[in-house]
Amino acid sequence: MITTLHVKKGGLHTTVQDLGRYGWQSMGVPVSGALDATALRVANTLVGNAPDVAALEILGTGPVLEVNATRVRLALAGGDASIQLLSPSRRDLPNFESFCPRPGDVLRIGSLTKGAVTYLAIEGGMNLPLVLGSPLHLHPWPVWWLSRSYSCQP
């Protein structure tokens, strides 16, 4: 069975981040990547991933996720945030430790109480398409402004 996390609520600002996209800066492509590379590496290490595997970067209030997997190991590392198992039993889960929720469990990652960003790493990573070697989204370049003519007048 493919491990999935169903996003029930996205949270304030949750994105997929890795350590960035290097080697394309001469073409105008930004490196981008995790705001806190150390926390991303720690989260990945806790679940047995390579340090550069993409994870969910959470700012502000986190998402609510439903687990659809026979087995998955997760870890939250970075700024302090509450992480609660909502069903079938309500209990708090630790930061900076891996845990294995069961199929049907619902996880709620609350607001960060210390720090600005935290990372939810998923054992085995995420199956996302790569663009220039990274799963990070590239926004289209706004070329419309290049076609405008501007005049400078005194």
Q: What is the pLDDT of residues 90-136, one digit of tens each?
A: 889 999 999 999 888 999 999 999 999 999 999 999 887 777 767 66
Around 94, how many Cα atoms within 13 Å sit in the side-chain half-sphere? 7
Cβ 36 vs Cβ 78: under 8 Å: yes
Give the pLDDT score at 129: 75
> Do the Cβ atoms of 127 and 72 come closer than 8 Å?
no
Collapse the DSSP code of 127 into the 3-class scheme (helix H, G, I; strand E, B; otherwise coil) and give the result: coil
2 pLDDT band (50/70/90 cuts)?
low
To which residue do tokens 């949750």 refer?
A: 14
Percent of the chain exceeding pLDDT 70 equals 83
Q: Is the confidence at residue 150, as pLDDT, over 60?
A: no
Considering the domain 4-147 in this protein, what is its CATH number?
2.60.120
Domain ranges of the chain: 4-147
The phi-psi region of residue 125 (left if phi > 0; otherwise alpha if psi is between -120 and 50; otherwise beta) is left
Task: Band the pLDDT of 4: cuts 50, 70, 90.
Answer: confident
